[in-house]
Amino acid sequence: MILDVDSTLCGVEGIDWLARRCGAHVADQTARLTERAMNGEIPLESVYGERLSLIRPTLRDIAALSEEYVRTLATRAPEVIAQLRAAGVAVVLVSGGIRKAIEPVALHLGLARDDLFAVELQWNAEGEYTGYDTESSLTSQRGKLEVVQRLSLHPPCLAVGDGSTDAAMRPAVDAFAAYTGFAHRDAVVARADFTIGNYDELARRVLAPTS
């Protein structure tokens, strides 16, 4: 199973949360760009670097975001992920978010570092932002699809997410579920095989006996 992170596993859009630490003007600009990208109105690659250039997150900002990810974990997500893994379901996190912020969340859930795919940022010795991995496919609209295709996960494989970049994974998986527990995007729901509103519902879907 493939899980998105922002607004799927955790109730925060990381880049927008970081932007709010920079003041109302940067927050408004960033939120508009994020929402247009998640709705599929504009490709992610057209805004990825622009948002980071506006925010320029420091290492201290990233540490604070990581704490927020853990604080806003979806209700019952840790228990359900443990239940799925105990039943033999492989769980992989695929995110266009910042790897250094998400990795502690993955470890908190008992996942390995290799179970997380996200974007690397760079900082200088003072912890100031200097750039990001421009070669990462996860900074593009179809990047998650490319990552999943490279993973060659055993079927049946379900992808779960709330945004257009998540829906783009559909050709590489057996089903795509739109997660609506934090955000309901009509354009994403329309492309989904079904919707999921909470993690107990996810467990029922994944672990349902087949006839």
Distance, CA of 31 to CA of 39 (rounded, Å) = 12
User: Taking a C-beta distance cutoff of 8 angstroms, is the pair 93, 3 a contact?
Assistant: yes
Task: Verify whether residue 174 is a known catalytic residue.
Answer: no
Distance, CA of 139 to CA of 158 (rounded, Å) = 22
Q: Which listed residue (4, 16, 61, 162) is catalytic?
A: 4
Query: How many helices (H) and strands (E) are present in the chain, helices listed first?
Result: 10, 8
Element (H, E) at 109: none
Task: Verify whether residue 6 is a known catalytic residue.
Answer: yes
Crossing angle for the helix pair 77-86 and 199-207, nearest 10 degrees?
10
Query: 159-191: string of b/e by CB count within 10 Å (b at 16+)?
Result: bbbbbbbbbbbbebbeebbbbbbbbebeebbee
Q: Which listed residue (6, 16, 162, 166) is catalytic?
A: 6
**Residues forming the active site:** 4, 6
